[in-house]
Structure 1
Amino acid sequence: MDDIVRSRPEPDLSASQMMIFDVLPEAYLVTNERYEVLTANSRYLDVIGTSLPQIVGRSVYDINQHVPYEQRETRRAWLDSVLPSLRLGETRSSPILRYDLPLAEDAAAGQVPERYWQARVSRVSSGNGLPGTDLLVFCLTDVTESVDASERNKRERAKLRSQARLRQVLIDEANAELRSQQARLQEVLTFARVGAWEWDLANGEMSCTEQCYRNMGIPLGEPLNAHRLFTELIDPEDRARVHAAVERSISSHDYFEVEYRVTWPDGSVRWLLARGAPHGPAHGAPTSLVGFILDITERKQAELHHQAVAQEEKLARERSESEARAMDHFITAVSHELRSPLHAIVSWTMLMQRTSDPSYVARAVQVIERNTRQLSLMVDDLLDSGAIATGKLSITPRPVDLGALAGLVAEDIRFNAEARHIRLIAEALSPCLVMADEGRIKQVIWNLLTNAMKFADGGTIEVSVTADSTHAELMVRDTGIGIPPDALERIFDRFQQAQNGQAARVAGLGLGLWLVKNLVALHGGTVSAHSEGLGQGATFRVRLPRFR
Structure 2
Amino acid sequence: MYEPLSDLPAGGAAPGEPAPRVGVDVDAGEIFEALPDAWLVLDADMQVVAANRAYLALVSSERAALVGRSIYEINQAGSAAQREARRQWLDTMLGGGVPGESRLGPPIRYDLADGAAGPLVPRYWQARVTLMSTARGERLYGLCVHDITGRMEDEAREQRERAKLRSQARLRQVLMEEANEQLRLQQEQLQHALAFARVGAWELQTQTGMFTCNDQFKMLLGLPPAATITESRLFGELIDVEHRERVRDAFDAARFADAPVEVDFRVTWPSRERRWVLLRAARPRGGEAPGSDAGGATGGTTGGTTGGTAGGTAPIIGLALDISMRKELELEHQAAAVAERAARERSEEATRAMDHFVAAVSHELRSPLGAIQSWATLLQRAGDLAHMARAGTVIERNARQLALMVDDLLDSGAIATGKLSIELAPVDLGALAGNIAEDMRMRIEEKGVRLIADELDSCVVMADEKRLRQVIWNLMTNALKFSETGEIVVSVRATRVASGQAGAVQLSVRDSGRGIAPDVLERIFERFYQAEGSGRASGLGLGLWLARSIVRLHGGSIWAESAGEGQGATFRVSLPRYR
TM-score by length of 2: 0.58
CA distance in 2, matches of 1:201, 1:244: 14
Q: How does 1:228-267 map to 2 (within 5 A)?
A: 228-267=233-272
Alignment of 1:369 with 2:401, yes or no, is no
Residue 532 of structure 1 is aligned with which of 563, 573, 577?
Answer: 563
On the 8 A contact 2:514/2:565 being kept in 1, the answer is yes
CA distance in 2, matches of 1:465, 1:509: 28
Q: Residue 228 of structure 2 corresponds to which residue in structure 1?
A: 223
My pick for the range that moved more, 455-464 or 438-447, is: 455-464
On the 8 A contact 1:192/1:211 being kept in 2, the answer is no
CA shift, 1:541, in A, is: 1.3
CA distance in 1, matches of 2:451, 2:206: 81
Write the deviation string for residues 259-285 of structure 1: whole angstroms up to 9, x where unpaired.
223332223332212234444559988
Q: Residue 454 of structure 2 corresponds to which residue in structure 1?
A: 427
Q: Residue 346 of structure 1 corresponds to which residue in structure 2?
A: 373
On the 8 A contact 1:196/1:209 being kept in 2, the answer is yes
Q: How does 1:92-491 map to 2 (within 5 A)?
A: 191=196, 193-200=198-205, 203-279=208-284, 281=286, 288-468=315-495, 469=497, 470-491=503-524
CA distance in 2, matches of 1:279, 1:229: 21
Write the deviation string for residues 103-125 of structure 1: whole angstroms up to 9, x where unpaired.
xxxxxxxxxxxxxxxxxxxxxxx
Change (3 A) 1:244 1:380: closer
Q: Residue 545 of structure 2 corresponds to which residue in structure 1?
A: 514
CA distance in 2, matches of 1:306, 1:213: 29
Residue 523 of structure 1 is aligned with which of 551, 554, 561?
Answer: 554
CA distance in 2, matches of 1:353, 1:363: 14
CA distance in 1, matches of 2:571, 2:287: 75
Change (3 A) 1:528 1:204: closer
CA distance in 1, matches of 2:532, 2:287: 72
Change (3 A) 1:227 1:523: closer
TM-score by length of 1: 0.61
CA shift, 1:452, in A, is: 2.3
The amino acid that maps onto 1:362 is A
CA distance in 1, matches of 2:213, 2:247: 18
Write the deviation string for residues 337-384 of structure 1: whole angstroms up to 9, x where unpaired.
100111111111112212212222222222111111111111111111
State the SS of the aligned residue for 2:451.
Answer: strand
Write the deviation string for residues 86-117 of structure 1: whole angstroms up to 9, x where unpaired.
xxxxxxxxxxxxxxxxxxxxxxxxxxxxxxxx
Aligned residues: 369
The amino acid that maps onto 1:265 is P
Q: Residue 164 of structure 1 corresponds to which residue in structure 2?
A: none
CA distance in 2, matches of 1:293, 1:500: 56
CA distance in 1, matches of 2:270, 2:240: 13
CA shift, 1:482, in A, is: 3.0
CA shift, 1:457, in A, is: 4.5
Please list every run of 5 or more consecutive structure 1 residues that lacks an aligned counterpart in the other structure.
1-11, 21-126, 128-136, 138-187
CA distance in 2, matches of 1:320, 1:242: 38
Write the deviation string for residues 270-306 of structure 1: whole angstroms up to 9, x where unpaired.
2212234444559988965444322222322222222
Q: Residue 145 of structure 1 corresponds to which residue in structure 2?
A: none
On the 8 A contact 1:461/1:477 being kept in 2, the answer is yes
CA distance in 2, matches of 1:487, 1:232: 43
Q: Residue 49 of structure 1 corresponds to which residue in structure 2?
A: none
Identity level (%):
54
CA distance in 1, matches of 2:447, 2:284: 87
CA distance in 1, matches of 2:523, 2:287: 65
On the 8 A contact 2:368/2:402 being kept in 1, the answer is yes
The amino acid that maps onto 2:466 is G
CA distance in 1, matches of 2:249, 2:533: 53
CA shift, 1:499, in A, is: 5.9
The amino acid that maps onto 1:530 is E
State the SS of the aligned residue for 1:547.
Answer: coil
Write the deviation string for residues 294-344 of structure 1: whole angstroms up to 9, x where unpaired.
222232222222211211111111111111111111111101110011111
Change (3 A) 1:224 1:532: closer
The structure whose residues are more often helix, as a share, is 1
Change (3 A) 1:485 1:202: closer
Q: Residue 492 of structure 1 corresponds to which residue in structure 2?
A: 525
On the 8 A contact 2:255/2:314 being kept in 1, the answer is no
Indicate the RMSD between aligned Cα atoms, in angstroms.
3.0
CA shift, 1:214, in A, is: 1.6
The amino acid that maps onto 1:264 is W
CA distance in 1, matches of 2:270, 2:395: 79
CA shift, 1:398, in A, is: 1.1
The amino acid that maps onto 2:460 is L
The amino acid that maps onto 1:379 is V
CA shift, 1:525, in A, is: 0.9
CA distance in 1, matches of 2:489, 2:335: 49
State the SS of the aligned residue for 1:217.
Answer: coil
State the SS of the aligned residue for 2:202.
Answer: strand
CA shift, 1:250, in A, is: 4.9
On the 8 A contact 2:448/2:484 being kept in 1, the answer is yes
Change (3 A) 1:359 1:474: same
State the SS of the aligned residue for 2:389.
Answer: helix
The amino acid that maps onto 1:275 is R
CA distance in 2, matches of 1:427, 1:311: 51
CA shift, 1:439, in A, is: 0.6
State the SS of the aligned residue for 2:319.
Answer: strand
On the 8 A contact 1:475/1:541 being kept in 2, the answer is yes
CA distance in 1, matches of 2:355, 2:578: 42
CA distance in 1, matches of 2:258, 2:533: 64
CA distance in 2, matches of 1:402, 1:487: 29
